[in-house]
Amino acid sequence: MRLMIDSAQTRSTETADNPGGTVKPTFREALRFWGKLGLISFGGPAGQIAIMHTELVERKRWISENRFLHALNFCMLLPGPEAQQLAIYVGWLLHRTRGGIAAGVLFVLPSALLIWILSYIYVIYGHIFWVEAIFTGLKPVILAVVAAAVIRIGKKALKNRIMWVIATLAFVAIFFFKAPFPAIVIGAGLTGWLGSRLYPDLFVTLIGHDEVLTSGASQVDFAPSPKPTPARTLKVFAICAILWATPIFIAGQVLGWQHTVTKEGIFFSKAATVTFGGAYAVLPYVAQQAVDFQWLAPHQMLDGLALAETTPGPLIMVLQFVGFIGGWQHPGDLSPLLSATLGALITSWVTFVPCFLWIFLGAPYVEQLHGHAGLTGALSTITAAVVGVILNLAVWLGIHVLFPTDLPSNWFGIVICTIAFIAMVRWKIDVHWIVIVGCIIGVLHYFVMTL
């Protein structure tokens, strides 16, 4: 048995370097990858999606371009962190429920532990100088990651003038007119659905299963998707809902329904169901409400965002920082550290458990519609719009990181960004090495400048 496992691992490892390989990864291999991803997934949703695309589609070839974009566009329509939901979806495709759970948990676990440690250091010592130092080298590297993603995904998605127009309109709408992200996605999806009926040759541009196989890109032979029956839907909903609500009920019974920890569980449960558009869409809403509740001050919210930016995992992990600070400053009868830890735990729990619910409920339905002309048309235009949205993020980061207002141009950042971009695009260096080196360079730069 051991020999068979080792042999399977060897064949799957060869797949990463063999464009023609089609061997499904073992669950152990997938665990190693999701664990590594949780440690290197810097850069917010755009950077994390770019890293997953590079690793899963181009290097390991565990999932085809078509299936990756199909999953991505579904996740874009959901509330909550789309990058984590994408990881859950791919894990579910590879190894069903246990794969989805492993991918989702390992994607956020390293970040959750780091944010807890940094939050404790923050409340004890205040400003953390080395976070700023790391951020100095990390920001231009992440800008390069996002720019490379725009080029890589754009080449795959923008296959005709219509898709170029949609990407351009999405960029203009979000960059110049500050259009909400969900409105852009919904508008693009409706345009693609209608266009697929009127001009299918122009709007149904995502490649199909046969084209993937004949174009030389490998595709794992996924297990048949479970049939989305009402009984299954009810079972999944009941299990996830119980897991979601149980910590809140326990906190209410033990600590009281007016305790900060309980209130945080209730508030962030609401936020998990209404915050479409990712972390940047939820932050203004959460910041305003958290300050109104006196859980933390505005400057503390900004400090928490900086901590989340410099750790791997979803940027929405800043909510755990909010939960920690709120518990620390309003401990009730508990010690500040215990109250803060419980606040951080319940905040992360009610933020991320719904992600599993959305994927496990919706993925079978989405897979049933895979290849449907109307859905494919909608997903094609959503993908094009996402290119414009990612370009907006790249431009926004570029302006703020490299050419900050009322400050000289950041020539250090320009050089680092250029080198990192060339390293990824031309030399094909793995993203995690570029991120690590960027962090080290940031720390070295900080110490040199303070000598």
Least confident of 5-19, 26-40, 254-268, 396-410: 5-19
**What's the pLDDT band for 93 if we cut at 50, 70, 90?**
very high
Highest mean pLDDT among 124-138, 189-203, 208-222: 189-203
Whether residue 10 is predicted with pLDDT greater than 60 in this model: the reply is no
What does the pLDDT average to over 62-81? 84
Q: What number of residues does the chain have?
A: 451
**What is the DSSP secondary-structure string of 240-308?**
HHHHHHHHHHHHHHHH-TTSHHHHHHHHHHHHHHH-BT-HHHHHHHHHHHHHHTTSS-HHHHHHHHHHH
3-state secondary structure of 79: strand
Whether residue 45 is predicted with pLDDT greater than 90 in this model: the reply is no
What does the pLDDT average to over 291-306? 78
Distance CA 390, CA 48 (A): 12
* DSSP at 62: S
Residue carrying the six token digits 């409920």: 361
* DSSP at 310: T
- What's the pLDDT at 43? 67
**What's the pLDDT band for 250 if we cut at 50, 70, 90?**
very high
Burial 311-321 (b: 16+ CB within 10 A, else e): bbbbbbbbbbb
* Better-predicted residue by pLDDT, 326 or 148: 326
